[in-house]
A and B are shown apart, each in its own frame.
Chain A
Amino acid sequence: MKPKYFSIPYVGWMAIFVVAPIILVFIYAFTTPTGALTLRNFSDMGLFMPVFIRSFRLAFISTIVCILLGYPVAYILARENQRVQRVLFLLIMLPLWMNFLLRTYAWMSILENTGLLNQLLTALSLPPVRIINTEAAVVIGMVYNFLPFMILPIYSVIVKIDRNLLEAAQDLGANSLSVFRRLIIPLSIPGILSGVTMVFVPAVSAFVITQLLGGGMVFLLGDLIEMQFLGTAHNPHVGSAISIVMMLVVIAFVIIMNKFGAGEERTVGL
């Protein structure tokens, strides 16, 4: 038996459990409950336009915040000595071992109107804030859940940057700001790009975070899809159409971003 045939069972598995389900989603999206072909599921999509816009906007904001918060973490981490790096790295990954529903639920306790944050503010005789059930709470939840997925790829790229390159730049008269701006940032673009994909995709399709921290006030694509499949609106055909449009927009976004990123990398000019 040749080794290349080892993968036959898995190829069969993929045909049934990876490819067939996606084909089914397409079939559902283009048919009515009675089985007739239709484009209605897509032409009705205009109704959900506000939900699409809100989802992509919040996912976009969360991704930007993750870059702004995560990049310095990855950079500082990469400059520490080996042992500190190892400990900090573990500390950043450790929360992922706790179920994300629980951690998000804990944010409810913190952000609620009578929650821990407001208790703290009142104790400091500061005015309380209203965060829970707003878009801000959903963004905090997303950033919290997905931040490690932004730090990890950026860190692994920065750690691998050749130190000689940085020293050479300094020897040639670059100050540390321009080394950072013209070498480290451009060289870490690939890490940022994979971080963006790892944050943006789950953020756009999130639905549990919105139910816990948005309290039903912030309705996103994930909630819409869930409602069509398991909820009150039950219409898997419309749900399939929404899923397809969502994934196509995400794929387009990732492709455009990678094109842009490939251009950036070339400007480093090595």
Chain B
Amino acid sequence: MKKKPSFFARFYMAFIMLFLYAPIFVLIVFSFNSTRSRTVWTGFSFQWYQRLFSDGTILDAFYTTLIIAALAAVISTVLGTFAAIGFYNMRSRWRTPLTQINNIPMMNADIVTGVSLSLLFISIGSLLRFRLGFGTLLIAHIVFCVPYVVLAIMPKLRQIDRNLVDAACDLGCTWMKAFWKVIIPEIRPGIINGMIIAFTLSIDDFVISYFTAGGNIMTLPMQIFSMTRRRVSPEINALSTILFLSVLTLLIIINVRDIKQEEKLKKRHAALNN
């Protein structure tokens, strides 16, 4: 399948990239606009960045989002890791239905997950006297994050050589020790991957939060939504520009490092072969 991409292919990719990046470009450009307008360019200014850092509501929503995402990522990673190991060691008679139930929040439309959880929280809440808020929001986020953690870890578990665990046990490890010294290190990439996925899903979620957060707490996406009903302040553009550029920088650093490492490996390989 190697051939020089044709002119048409290049042109088509450029068109798709234009489609994908036009809105982002617009967002970034208008974060520097000197007036509130989001369609007419009136001049360059940093005022929205200055206002952003003194806007309590947006910053509060941002902190809430980060705290929820961090907690949801850590808790669902722990829960999901143990769940995945448990599922893996079960007979398929139990494993199949349980993994299917685990898949429900992933397969279901977000809005259905959201409303069904809100029904649950409201009915239990009226019994146990609690209201929608930070707790219910966090639980909801864990609910939709764990399935992805399990999904990220399962393939790593399948790759483990079972003899490794047996060998550790034969050499005098207790099962618990083998667990910490063999299994966890072997599946670590899956665990880290799962945690990253959980964190990003949680940061980005709007629909499920919208139904489970109640009126007293707002995440950033919820804040953005309530603003779109009136008028989005360009402060939000400023914030998203900062976030976008941070992600971009992070990705570039990671990838440049990866490429360098690969090249080193290749060189070493070539040197060995000669």
Contact = CB atoms under 8 A, between A and B. Distances in A.
Interface stretch (B13-21, B47-55, B187-195): B13-21
Nearest to A92: B20
A22 B103 CA distance: 13
Given A105-B228, A243-B111, A14 B101 contact: yes
Interface in A218-270: 222, 225-226, 229-230, 236, 239-240, 243, 246-247, 250
Interface residues of B, number: 80
A130 to B, nearest CB: 15
B98 interface: yes
Contacts of A95: 20-21, 24
B44 interface: no
Interface string B74-89: 0000011011111111
B224 A99 contact: yes
Given A103-B27, A204-B109, A110 B116 contact: no
Contacts of A6: 82-83, 85-86, 89
Nearest to B10: A76
Contacts of A19: 101
Nearest to B241: A98
Decide if the interface of chain A is mainly helix, strand, loop or mixed: helix
A72 interface: yes
B1 A79 contact: yes
Nearest to A22: B116
Contacts of B101: 14, 18-19
Contacts of A5: 86
Nearest to A147: B20
Contacts of B70: none
29 contacts: A3-B85, A3-B88, A4-B89, A7-B83, A9-B83, A11-B86, A14-B102, A17-B120, A17-B143, A18-B105, A21-B116, A78-B1, A79-B2, A80-B5, A95-B24, A101-B206, A101-B224, A102-B237, A103-B27, A105-B228, A106-B24, A109-B23, A144-B19, A166-B1, A204-B109, A205-B109, A225-B111, A229-B211, A243-B115
Given A17-B117, A28-B119, A81-B2, 17 more contacts: A8-B86, A17-B139, A21-B117, A22-B116, A24-B123, A73-B16, A87-B255, A88-B13, A91-B17, A99-B206, A100-B204, A109-B23, A109-B39, A110-B22, A119-B39, A166-B1, A239-B115
